[in-house]
């Protein structure tokens, strides 16, 4: 089909909006590119459509919305004084604002309590910076002391528990192992590190027996001295 200038003009918007496909599009472009009248027309319309699409929408005049409201709902009275104040506050009565207000109050109460300000007997002097600093410093030291004491107590409890656990393990061993064995090479105060299988209680028993022997050895001397 031979495209004429009239046909180009009639299908121009379809071409610009991509509604022409395949052979139709090719035939359109073939005529438009070669025709002295159609080529500038296509270019100018294409440019115009692009410009109109990029034109920004106009801003609404500032008072137009209020004028529309006055015309539809009628003129509204301006409320002043306490009524206006209450109307403004009424706008704050929303759950979101209530939650926010409650969390702010809770934060303030926590901070005031931590700063030493008594909520039951409030005193203006408690709000002095020096008083707040002293209260905070005292609070920090108190907390630190409590933590240190807590850790120390835990350590003592752990040591006691570990000793008791060891004693329980020792009691579960065989009776022959529990008998104190005299060991000549055992010196008082010597640890059992080189013999891990020997129970500690045996060391203690050896030490006690050794001391008793030494004491017994001292008795003849004492009796001799007392006899003189």
Site string for another protein, 3-22 (x = CB under 8 A): ------xx-xxx--------
Site string for another protein, 67-106 (x = CB under 8 A): xx--xx----------------------------------
| DSSP designation for 10 | H
Nearer to another protein, 41 or 132 (CB): 41
Give, as ranges, the residues between 27 and 66 that touch another protein (CB under 8 A). Answer: 41, 44-45, 47-53, 55, 57-61, 64-65
What's the closest the beta carbon of residue 36 comes to another protein, in angstroms? 15
Closest CA to 188 of 166, 210, 167, 169: 210
CB 87 within 8 A of CB 79: yes
Phi, psi of 170 (to 5 degrees): -65, -40
Helix (H, G, I), strand (E, B) or coil at 221: helix
| Cα–Cα distance, 52 to 46 (Å, whole number) | 10
- 28, burial (CB in 10 Å: exposed 0-12, middle 13-18, buried 19+): buried
What's the closest the beta carbon of residue 75 comes to another protein, in angstroms? 13
Query: Site size for another protein, by CB under 8 A?
Result: 27
The site for another protein (CB under 8 A) is made up of 9-10, 12-14, 41, 44-45, 47-53, 55, 57-61, 64-65, 67-68, 71-72
């Amino acid at each position: 089909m031979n495209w004429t200038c009239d046909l180009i003009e009639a299908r121009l918007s379809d071409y610009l909006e991509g509604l022409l496909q395949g052979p139709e599009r090719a035939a359109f472009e073939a005529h438009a590119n070669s025709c002295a009248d159609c080529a500038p027309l296509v270019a100018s319309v294409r440019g115009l459509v692009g410009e109109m699409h990029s034109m920004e929408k106009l801003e609404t005049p500032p008072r137009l919305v209020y004028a529309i409201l006055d015309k539809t709902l009628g003129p509204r009275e301006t409320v002043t004084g306490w009524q206006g104040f209450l109307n403004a506050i009424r706008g704050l009565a929303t759950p979101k604002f209530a939650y926010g207000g409650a969390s702010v109050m809770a934060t303030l109460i926590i901070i005031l309590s931590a700063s030493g300000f008594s909520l039951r007997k409030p005193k203006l002097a408690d709000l002095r910076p020096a008083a707040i600093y002293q209260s905070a410093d005292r609070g920090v030291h108190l907390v630190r002391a409590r933590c240190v004491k807590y850790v120390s107590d835990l350590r003592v409890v752990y040591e006691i528990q570990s000793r008791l656990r060891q004693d329980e393990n020792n009691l579960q061993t065989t009776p022959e192992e529990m008998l104190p064995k005299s060991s000549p090479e055992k010196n008082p105060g010597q640890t059992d590190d080189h013999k891990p299988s020997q129970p500690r209680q045996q060391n203690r028993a050896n030490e006690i027996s050794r001391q008793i022997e030494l004491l017994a050895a001292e008795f003849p001397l004492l009796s001799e001295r007392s006899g003189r």
